[in-house]
Amino acid sequence: MASKPSWRAKSSGASIAAGSEPSPPASQTASANALYGNKLSVLLGDYLLARSYSILARENDPQIINLIASVAVALSEGEVLELLMRGTLGELESLYWKMIDRKTARLISACLEMGAMAIGAKDKYVEALGSYGERIGLVFQITDDLLDVTGSRETLGKPVGADLMDGKVTLPYILALRDLPQENCDSLLEKILEGALHEEDLHFLTAQAAQPAVIDQCLALANEQVEMAIKHLSGLPATPAKSILEEIGPYLLSRTS
């Protein structure tokens, strides 16, 4: 059965450092993956990446080219790290932060940096926006992982607990496992990493990860990142676009899809 389209709000970029007015958001549209499936969406992504490199080569801006290249490396490292995460629960938590930094945070950071570079913003603004983006990227990934246990198939477009079924030990599951007796924790963790979870194990762990105490811990960690992100914006000029950036963190903490 085809999954329900996930909805994204499309909005144009705003020049933070230059203080230009942001354009009003367009109407919501279904994602390419929801409309056309995985295969075509991946091919389209490859095409857009190739086009971006073509444009970069034409513009011949070594600073942006180097940034794009470093992000591509970080994304690959993050994806590989996610697939190869092994170790004790403490080691997995450390690897989780490292993985989401490379998988998500570096990309969002680079997007903000490149926007500032493209308009010739001062280095201090480029650095501030990059630091903001990295923190917001961590928040996005934490809340996305939380939705995997608190959402529904209708809102997520995938089964609840899909990450765990794929052998991915995300923050909600790490915190849930930490609260279990050591023997139970070790047994379940071994099953996860070996891809040997039974259906009842999946239901049990998903229920544990959806407990209010675990959700509160995840949101508290995410909120710490939001606070740090907003601090990075303090030196930027007061503009409507800056106000929008300040609202993104609190929005991510409350999103339901």
pLDDT tens, 138-170? Answer: 999 999 999 888 876 666 666 777 778 777 899
The predicted pLDDT at position 84 comes to 85
Decide if 78 contacts 102 (C-beta within 8 A): yes
**Does the pLDDT at position 16 exceed 60?**
no
Domain-wise residue ranges, the chain: 60-254
Residue 181's SS3 state is: coil
Centre a 10 Å sphere on the Cβ of residue 62 and count the other Cβ atoms it contains: 9
Q: Band the pLDDT of 2: cuts 50, 70, 90.
A: very low
What are the E-state strand segments in the chain? Answer: 7-8, 29-30
Q: Is the pLDDT of residue 5 over 70?
A: no
Q: Which of 138, 161, 163, 135 is nearest to 150 (CA)?
A: 161
30, β-bridge pairs: 7
d(CA 12, CA 113): 16
Per-residue pLDDT band for 12 (boundaries 50, 70, 90) equals very low
Report the range of poorest mean pLDDT among 23-27, 110-114, 214-218: 23-27
User: Lowest-pLDDT range, 13-27, 29-43, 70-84, 89-103?
Assistant: 13-27
What is the distance between the alpha carbons of residues 249 and 37, in angstroms, rounded to a whole number? 30
CA distance 173 to 225: 20
Pick the CATH number of 60-254 from 3.40.50.300, 1.10.10.60, 3.40.605.10, 1.10.600.10: 1.10.600.10
User: Which of these, 56, 5, 12, 2, lies nearest to 32 by C-alpha position?
Assistant: 5
Reading the block at residue 135, the tokens are: 């923190």
Closest among 79, 80, 131 to 106, alpha carbons compared: 131
pLDDT over threshold 60, residue 25: no
Average pLDDT over the chain reads 85
Predicted local confidence at residue 158, as pLDDT: 66
